Copies of this chain bind each other. A is one copy, B any other.
Amino acid sequence: MTQNYIIFTAGGSGKRMQSEIPKQFIPVAEKPLLMWAVESFEAVIPDLNKLIVIPENHIALWKDLCRQFNFKTEHQVVSGGQTRFHSVKNAVEIIKGDGLTGVHDGVRPFPSEGTILKAYQAAEKYGAAVPCVDSTDSLRQVKAGESHIIDRSEIKRIQTPQVFHTKLLKKAYQQEYQDTFTDDASVVESLGTKIRLTEGNEENIKVTRKMDLRIAVMLAEFYK
């Protein structure tokens, strides 16, 4: 039987938000962001195997939160590595089979049903798929101290889940780490694989700044 996976990255140290608790564990509308993320996938593709990558020193906290919030969704906890690359690599190494594997930011609580399904469907067909949304702002490109207008219709904002044939993702993560690896698509792309873009959703925000957390609270109240 084909096994499909979703890996949640929850390795951020929370430095950028100067909060005591790493942001993936912050509750909004009575549930930590990471639980919102996991339940989004559970609701859409219930038979996905769920791996959550958490830094060693936060695993006890996560287990406490699961008890406290009565979080029953089945999942496996994987210890994080030194960087995001090494964290995902740890999870990829324990995955088996020739199905599909997605990687999702634990601080993106609200991927829509369409975002999740389209990414998995396109990955099945093309090998590698990532959701994106349009740029709503005018954009300028800064090079050598000067800025020039750039056609915003050419620039897409990339989201997660980024989904791949499991075998392709495993091969990609056997590479040496490079500075240009900013997300999983960039790791897979460096093998020469083309990345298919699928339709994301605007509410699928990445909670990194204080303002994002306020927006997440608002969206959670809307969805709960």
Contacts and interface: CB of A to CB of B under 8 A. Distances in A.
Interface of A: 130, 132, 135-143, 146-150, 152, 154-159, 180, 182-183, 185-186, 189, 194-195, 197, 202-203, 206, 208-209, 211, 214-215, 218, 222
Given A155-B150, A189-B149, A222-B214, A138 B209 contact: no
Nearest to A142: B154
A14 to B, nearest CB: 16
A98 to B, nearest CB: 25
Stoichiometry, copies per complex: 2
A47 to B, nearest CB: 28
Contacts of A140: 130, 132, 155-156, 158, 185, 195, 197
A155 B140 CA distance: 6
Given A147-B195, A157-B135, A159-B137, A218 B222 contact: no
Given A136-B208, A203-B211, A185 B149 contact: yes
Nearest to A148: B189
Contacts of A155: 139-142, 150, 155
Given A136-B209, A142-B156, 18 more contacts: A130-B140, A135-B157, A136-B208, A138-B182, A139-B158, A140-B158, A140-B185, A141-B155, A142-B197, A143-B154, A147-B197, A148-B189, A149-B182, A149-B186, A149-B189, A202-B211, A215-B215, A215-B218
A40 B199 CA distance: 36
B218 A214 contact: yes
Nearest to A201: B211
A161 to B, nearest CB: 13
A224 B147 CA distance: 35
A183 to B, nearest CB: 5
Contacts of A182: 138, 149, 152
